[in-house]
Amino acid sequence: MSAPSVRSILTHWPQSTVWICLSDMGQLKDAEALYRRALEAQERTLGAEHPSTLLSVNNLANCLKARGQLKDAEALHRRALEAQERTLGAEHPSTLNSVNNLANCCSDMGQLKDAEALYRRALEARECTLGAEHPSTLNSVNNLAICLKTRGQLKDAEALYRRALEAKERTLGAEHPSTLASVNNLANCCSGMGQLKDAEALYRRALEAQERTLGAEHPSTLASVNNLAVCLTTTGQLKDAEALYRRALEAQERTLGAEHPSTLGSVNNLADCLKARGQLKDAEVLYRRTLEARERTLGAEHYDTLATVNNLAECLTAMGQLKDAEALHRRALEAQERTLGADHPDTLASVNRLAICLKAKGNFCSCLNMFRCRRHQ
């Protein structure tokens, strides 16, 4: 059977799966061109605020977000939301979808306070119009929890994750895929709170259920393999973690291909584990593989690509290759300042990494100047 065309995916597939599929195929650039063409035609024939036009605005914004063009995506999401508020009302389902889309974009841009306010707005409206246990309401509960976890409000996030999980267990059953996704989310939160024993138990629950219901090589199962491996890495069980990472990677290479985003995530995770075990040369090879593939499929300034740039730089620092590490850290920092802004958490983390590298090279003045400049911005 031939692979589906970009046009058929955009026309016939559910929007919830479009971005994953096109990202997997490395055809987001083609999708962007088609969405722009559709939007321009709808603006001419239907008008700027027709529901179909605004759907295309959101679709184009989601595509740009998937490509890492967050500022352009934000502008489009705001355009769609403002128009839907005028034409459909503040609590229309399409309006609330746009609220959620804008919140996701703000979260990715590091605008967490704005994202939280938008997530709370969507949640409150959905509770009023759909009920406390409607799937869309629980999706908003989950999104708000993710935002709060990112902001460091772990106890509040945990309470929301538990609310979502308990509701899904009642309405969907203990082994429904959505329920198991909430098990994983709660486990992530527990891990962040240092409750590693509880996190490990939850990860194992999700994994065992997914193996039974979905199969050993289903993408969701393999994601849980990775999650458990991350937890074991955190608790110092590096040998067991490495075995899980290799299991996930080998299965993803067979079922998804060598350059699928999930496969590359596993390559990166295995590299992290090998680095922690002191196998720096093997880790370097894997980081370089990930970086080259992400540059090809996502572009040089996508946030996943830049994360890998930083990972490789840290590996080279550990190997004593400080000149090469500095060049990579500078590359990541300059790109993040352009694409995310100077105050985004990822940008500031890159500032810190570069400063550490400069300190290791003995460039104490440059290191101090970097921190002073940041403090006065």
CATH number of the domain encompassing residue 320: 1.25.40.10
Q: 256 lies in a domain?
A: no
Residues 127 and 137: beta-carbon distance below 8 Å: yes
Q: Tell me, yes or no, whether 312 lies in a domain.
A: yes
Predicted local distance difference test score (pLDDT) of residue 327: 96
For residues 90-126, b (16+ Cβ closer than 10 Å) or e, as one string? ebbebbbbbbbbbbbbbbbbbbbebbbebbbbbbebb
Q: Is residue 340 part of a domain?
A: yes
Which of 89, 94, 84, 148 shows the shortest CA–CA distance to 117? Answer: 148
Domain-located, residue 265: no
Burial class (CB within 10 angstroms; exposed 0-12, middle 13-18, buried 19+) of 89: exposed
Residue ranges of the chain with per-residue pLDDT less than 70: 1-26, 363-377
Tell me how far apart the alpha carbons of residues 304 and 264 are, in angstroms, rounded to a whole number: 10
CB 104 within 8 A of CB 77: no
Tell whether 34 is covered by a domain.
no
- Assess if residue 297 is contained within a domain: no
Distance CA 296, CA 343 (A): 28
Element (H or E) spanning 3, and its range?
Answer: none
Q: How far apart are CA 62 and CA 58, in angstroms?
A: 6
Q: What one-character-per-residue DSSP string does 193-248 give?
A: TT-HHHHHHHHHHHHHHHHHHT-TTSHHHHHHHHHHHHHHHHTT-HHHHHHHHHHH
Distance CA 293, CA 242 (A): 22
363 domain residue, yes or no: yes
pLDDT at 24: 46
Among 121, 166, 170, smallest CA distance to 143 is for 121
Residue in 213, 222, 157 with CA at minimum distance from that of residue 185 = 157
Total domains, the chain? 1
How high is the pLDDT of residue 19? 45
Domain that holds residue 308: 304-377
CA distance 249 to 256: 10
